[in-house]
């Protein structure tokens, strides 16, 4: 079974490889915009800066941890069973993976069921998973959602596209739901 240091080294190697691949794909994903303000205002510069920093520091940390593993007589990343390494990684980061999957489902459900129901379900499931689902946190969730709707929909006037679920309602209810939910 891989040690904790081995798992950390594996994660840093994976982060390094992912950041390098994303750096290579940046020119295809973010077009150069003609502007008089300078190169630093280009949309791709933030991504390049972030991914470059991630690549540099994950490579440094991966090499550092791999050298430590070799000095201690353990096998480095590319000499171990990949399935064993994957199981070790998944077991160590179970909560992060579940939270990431829930966030992905939340983002995909926004255009289907709307901001308020999707956010309420997402936060409630996270509270349930963290064993904090009680009356206090549920009231706090509802209050926060109401505050977010008032701030962003009413005060700032940030509107989202129409929601599929609300198209099933009569017109006057669908307009209200699309506006405030």
Question: Which of 65, 92, 119 finishes a domain?
Answer: 92
Shared-domain flag, residues 75 and 108: no
Nearest CA to 11 among 62, 66, 54? 62
Number of domains in the chain: 2
Taking residue 78's Cβ as centre, other Cβ atoms within 10 Å add up to 9
Question: Which of 48, 75, 92 finishes a domain?
Answer: 92
Calpha distance 159→162 (Å, rounded) = 9
Shared-domain flag, residues 77 and 9: yes
pLDDT of residue 133: 92
Burial 146-156 (b: 16+ CB within 10 A, else e): eeebeeebeee
Contact 66, 76 (CB under 8 A): yes
pLDDT, tens digit, for every residue of 76-106? 555 566 667 667 667 777 888 888 899 999 9
pLDDT, tens digit, for every residue of 41-74? 667 788 888 999 999 999 999 899 888 877 877 6
Shared-domain flag, residues 130 and 57: no
pLDDT of residue 93: 76
pLDDT of residue 38: 67
pLDDT, tens digit, for every residue of 132-174? 999 999 999 999 999 998 888 888 877 777 888 888 888 888 8
Number of H helices, E strands in the chain: 7, 0
Calpha distance 10→85 (Å, rounded) = 8
pLDDT of residue 144: 95
DSSP state of 71: H
Q: Decide if pLDDT at 1 tops 60.
A: no
Question: Which of 92, 113, 148 finishes a domain?
Answer: 92
Calpha distance 87→167 (Å, rounded) = 44
Containing domain of residue 85, as a range?
4-92
Taking residue 69's Cβ as centre, other Cβ atoms within 10 Å add up to 19
Please give the C-alpha separations between residue 118 and each of 102, 132, 141, in angstroms, as whole numbers. Answer: 11, 19, 12
pLDDT, tens digit, for every residue of 102-127? 999 999 999 899 899 999 999 999 99
Average pLDDT of 2-28?
Answer: 81
Give the predicted TM-score (pTM) of the model. Answer: 0.59
Coil, strand or helix at 160: coil
């Amino acid at each position: 079974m891989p040690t904790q240091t081995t798992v950390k080294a594996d994660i840093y190697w994976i982060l390094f490889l992912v950041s390098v691949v994303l750096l290579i794909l940046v020119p295809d994903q973010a077009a150069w915009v003609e502007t008089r303000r300078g190169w630093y205002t280009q949309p791709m510069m933030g991504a390049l800066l972030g991914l470059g920093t991630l690549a540099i520091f994950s490579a440094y940390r991966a090499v550092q941890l791999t050298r430590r593993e070799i000095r201690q007589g353990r096998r480095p990343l590319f000499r171990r069973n990949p399935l064993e390494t994957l199981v070790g990684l998944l077991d160590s980061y179970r909560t992060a993976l579940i939270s990431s999957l829930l966030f992905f489902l939340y983002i995909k459900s926004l255009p289907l069921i709307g901001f308020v129901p999707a956010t309420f379900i997402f936060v409630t499931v996270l509270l349930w998973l963290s064993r904090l689902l009680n009356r206090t946190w549920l009231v706090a969730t509802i209050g926060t959602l109401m505050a977010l709707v008032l701030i962003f929909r009413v005060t700032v006037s940030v509107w989202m596209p129409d929601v599929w679920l609300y198209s099933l309602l009569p017109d006057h209810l669908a307009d209200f739901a699309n506006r405030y939910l």
